[in-house]
Chains A and B, each alone.
Chain A
């Protein structure tokens, strides 16, 4: 080493550096809010369009919203405001992609075969969002996210039983409680931390 130090000093120094860099990884709730608000709005619009007898427009609404989220993420990732990411976040991203592809395959396959009604579709969506949350909870060692994943699965059990247009409204309510509210909490906490610094 440059100067005389003991292994204990080195380990304490290493820990200090790692803590400093870990502190830069902030979850400002941006993704939670973006995805949550988009899903709530998309689900409510789907409900409105289906109610008005214009269900054919629903896939286009979702395509537009998903493109909007992907575009926003792409721009933010390349902006100077992009935050440092933890190594675990790459795996979380891959897990979410797998959950979305698997859920999309079941929803798409079911719809093409004419075996997927609105209520069942909302239940399947809720189940796969729960899978995404469970992976995130495991990778980030978050008990809160683990609890939220259980609520998503409870939603998956209940939503298929709700007939008519109640299921999209139910999913919207679930998304608001389990995605938007945690996003707001994270955003407020992040702002408070920034003010303290």
Chain B
């Protein structure tokens, strides 16, 4: 049976499994530190840096840097634009399933 699901309507930022995982993990929280996010997603440090950079460029994710016990700490938070893009992506997937 033919479906009206058109993959071109899906946001290409989410075409990467790691980027999708990062954004999904950030949805329920205000922000998440690099280590927790990396462990949750199950990616390497290098992969994480590449994909968070891509999400940052798309303005979907905001990077927050601060010092904790005099050591630099990096956290990530979803922007309003990222939240809306993720909601649209879910809606598109849901439309196909229905």
A: residues with CB less than 8 A from B are 1-3, 7-8, 10-11, 13-14, 17-18, 20-22, 24-25, 78-80, 82, 84-87, 89-90
Contacts and interface: CB of A to CB of B under 8 A. Distances in A.
Nearest to B68: A80
Given A7-B5, A21-B40, A79-B68, A13 B17 contact: yes
Contacts of A7: 5, 93, 96-97
B63 interface: no
A10 B24 CA distance: 11
A17 B42 CA distance: 10
B4 interface: no
Given A2-B18, A87-B30, 16 more contacts: A2-B15, A2-B16, A3-B17, A7-B96, A11-B93, A17-B24, A18-B27, A20-B25, A20-B40, A21-B27, A21-B32, A78-B66, A79-B68, A84-B36, A87-B28, A89-B30
Contacts, number: 80
B28 A21 contact: yes
Nearest to A19: B28
Contact of B26 (A3, A13, A21, A79): A21
A89 B31 CA distance: 11
Contacts of A13: 17, 20-21, 24
23 contacts: A1-B20, A2-B17, A7-B5, A7-B93, A10-B20, A13-B17, A13-B20, A13-B24, A14-B90, A18-B24, A18-B28, A20-B40, A21-B24, A21-B32, A24-B29, A24-B36, A80-B69, A84-B29, A84-B33, A85-B29, A85-B31, A86-B28, A87-B29
Interface string B1-27: 000010000000001111011001111
Instruction: Please indicate which of the listed interface residues A17, A18, A25 has the most CB atoms of chain B within 10 Å of its own CB.
Output: A17
B29 to A, nearest CB: 5
